[in-house]
A and B are shown apart, each in its own frame.
Chain A
Amino acid sequence: MKKLLPIVFILSSLFANDIDFNAALSANYGDNYDFYSYSENRLDLNFFYNDLQGWIQYEYSNPPDVGFPINDIRKFRIEYALNDLTIKFGDIYEFWGRGLALNQIDDQITNFDNGTRGLFLSYSNGPLSLSHLNGNSSIWLFGTDLRTPFYNNSHNMSGNQFQYDWNSFSLGLTQLQSNETHQKLFGDKAYINHKLKGIYGSWIATNADFFFEYVDKVSTEKMDFFQEVAHDSLKEGHGVYGNLNLYLGNWGLSTEYKRYAFDRGHTDFTADDYGNRIELQMMPTLGKEQNSTLLGRVAHNYNLNDERGVQLEVNGSLLDKLTLTAQYSHLSRNNNWQSVTPADWEDSAIPNYLPSSDPSSLPYWENYQEISGFGFGDKLYFKLGRGNNKEILKTTRYFDGQGLSIKKNWVYTDSVEWYDEWYYIDSSLIGIDTTLYNVEAKMWQEAKSFTIPMEINYSFNNNYTFGIGFQYQERTKNNITKGNSRTYSYSDSAWTLIKVNDPDSMVYSRDTQFLINEKKLKTQYNRMIYVTLSKAPTWSFTITHDWTNGFDGPTTVDPYYNPLEALIFGDLKYFTGERNRIEPPNFIQKRWVSAELAYNITSSQRVSVMYGSIQGGLFCSNGICRLIAPFNDGIKFSYSAIF
């Protein structure tokens, strides 16, 4: 692969007069005290020569922020487009419909890359277009390590798309097949064949538009690809997505519906649950794409194998100055679940097309409202939002039905008296009496959050802008127990009552999951404030302060707090050499402070330096979420340029 680079440069030189090119350069470097260091350098080079286009991405990263070290050409593609024919060779990223069958992205922030290295052919003639894709995809997914991927699924795939456009209507047919080598939990491999067939259509009018897509999928499995026996049937599933938008004046209503049923389960899917949706399918998730840090941390982990839902969003403006947004979505799994025993679960289909609110179907609700606008001759910008969400994260018991109370009858054949007490010395079981009673044994984990993000910027006449942002969040996360039973007797094959003599006695308890120094906290309060001063078009300086009062798990200890944190909290001992390295001040456990200076060297070159600490947590991009490791007391440097 490295040989390609000089070839490209030689070719570039030979045809230099006729070749147009552009390039982008990015260099990122980070280092902190707890061994979190990275150095990423990437060069993207695009060249255009008559009907020929090329793209090369060279990367030197040792190690990257996330992913594997590399010193090589990471990606390349050559495209030839002549009239109605397009040929692409190399790393292909295609997108059909809304992605239920195929949506390929290379997201370097979440280290998700489902592109295909192979060949793409496309032909269009008037309203008709046909395309064919063939190649191999190697897709890495994260395991327990937050920075290095662990699971690798490789696909030898081919697919075809047909699309016909007629005035404001479009109709598409898709077909894709893949032979997957799937890595299981403990490194074993499974060999699966996936077959997908899909249809999509759209209609666009002045005041409305509509999109619909349906995909059907069948998977079969072989012990290995060299076997000559037929594949065994493994899983079947389908996905449906619909989007209807209505417009009236400067108001728009967006409605979406989805139903992805490629598998079903009452828990999270693991690498051992294979044969369902493949990573080449990246479909709409139906949640608000948030740009607030605290709202991003409470994002729902979408299940693209087994989830249905609806989403409504209204966008509008008032007085040409104010923008209003209101959004609501409700999602759930496709089935309600009942735990016949704690290990044996039975599902029942939700009796309509809408999501369920039953906790056993792991429902999720979110709503968000926002107002933003300009004032004082456009010098003032403000944004005020309000977001709520509620989610059932997991269920460990969910039984509601009739149970048996077991009463055992014994006959005693001999006995002795000892200090006024009778002791039976011989006995035998002569029968068991059972009585029916109602059993409710439900245990689930529920999380709720309430968030207010706000931001104000004011621009002065001399190109200076002062901005302040504040985000406030309340979170609860509880293990809930409800009913008259919580344990199951496998020897009696029956649920055991909490109060044996009182079947009607119901228990309801909530056990919080937030802790601070092993002490339980009912509510977690998170706050983030950032202050920015900038001078257009040259520089901006931002200080960010993020703090919480508790953790979802054990308290993390960060004794090496940075001088910026010490300065902000007035810990002067830090600077006089008297700080206690063994037991740092209590405040430092729950606060992360950082400062960032960004400087535009030219309009197309930007450099930024960040110093301080950043709290880790959930980060979502393109519908893919990953946990970000905390960055404690370190420096980050980044440079980007386009030319």
Chain B
Amino acid sequence: MKKYFFTFLFLCYGVLFATDNVVGTTIPDLKLNLLDGEKTSIHELLKDGPVMIDFWATWCKPCKKVMRYLDQYHQEYSEQGFKVLMINQDTPRSMGKVKSYIRSQKHEFIVALDPNQQIAKKLNGQVMPTLILVDQDGSIKWRHQGYMPGDEVEIERQIKLLIQSDSSES
């Protein structure tokens, strides 16, 4: 009976607190090792505008499907300072092939490496893909777990909403 109680308690907690928009939650300034060898941080990337963070790996099928749309949005909304940051979670077993895959797809978004899931654990991105949309001031505006075909419509809508609200405020 105890185990059902705990399961029920956890579910209640989740349903009560897991809302779409967590207002006031700020993304921490985590250090990033980029695929091209450079080093930066999340707050550094936010200086130009909002950032969409996504967690992926070369062996993750749905990740690859959503990546082509994210790259498209990265290019389409770059004038508004918007960027896509793809945090790769390939382990040493396959991390040698990450750049090869990115080059083959001509993706232009920013790729960071997180081989032992330290960033993923801090941002709760262990489920792949997990999308986190962050406003320029660092506040998290939207989160999304998983990908099924058609989700790209909602992803783009959220990006547009954020860019429009930023431009109307300024």
Contact = CB atoms under 8 A, between A and B. Distances in A.
A252 B116 CA distance: 24
Contacts of B150: 459, 463-465, 534-537
Given A250-B103, A457-B149, A289 B18 contact: no
Interface in A250-272: 250-254, 256
B119 to A, nearest CB: 11
A457 B61 CA distance: 12
Contacts of B11: 27, 639
B97 A254 contact: yes
B19 to A, nearest CB: 7
A603 B149 contact: no
A41 B7 contact: yes
A601 B12 CA distance: 13
Given A289-B58, A641-B14, A256 B96 contact: yes
A21 to B, nearest CB: 7
Interface of A is mostly: strand
A284 B96 contact: yes
B104 A252 contact: yes
B34 to A, nearest CB: 10
Contact of B14 (A39, A55, A639): A639
A46 B3 CA distance: 25
Given A253-B100, A642-B124, A283 B10 contact: no
Nearest to B99: A245
B18 A317 contact: no
Contact of A250 (B105, B127, B143, B154): B105
Interface residues of B, number: 67
Interface stretch (A96-104, A187-195, A395-403, A410-418): A96-104
A602 B130 contact: no
Given A46-B122, A463-B153, A20 B7 contact: no
Given A20-B28, A55-B121, A459-B150, A606 B101 contact: no
A526 interface: no
Contacts of B59: 289-291
Nearest to B28: A48
B115 interface: yes
A537 B151 contact: yes
B3 A39 contact: yes
Contacts of A601: 15
Given A604-B143, A642-B143, A53 B99 contact: no
Contacts of B143: 603-604, 642-643
B60 to A, nearest CB: 7
Interface string A195-229: 00000001010000101000000000000000000
Interface of A: 20-25, 27, 29, 39, 41, 43-44, 46, 48, 53, 55, 60, 62, 93-95, 98-99, 103-105, 168, 170, 202, 204, 209, 211, 243, 245, 247, 250-254, 256, 282-285, 287, 289-291, 313, 315-317, 320, 323-324, 374, 381, 383, 457, 459, 463-465, 467, 534-537, 540, 598, 600-606, 622-623, 639-643
Interface of B: 2-4, 6-7, 10-11, 13-15, 17-20, 22, 24-28, 36-37, 57-61, 65, 68, 90-97, 99-101, 103-106, 115-118, 121-124, 126-127, 130, 140, 142-146, 148-151, 153-154
Given A536-B149, A603-B145, 6 more contacts: A27-B11, A43-B10, A62-B3, A105-B91, A289-B93, A315-B101
Sorted nearest first, the 4 A-B pairs with minimum C-beta distance are A536-B150, A252-B100, A641-B18, A24-B124
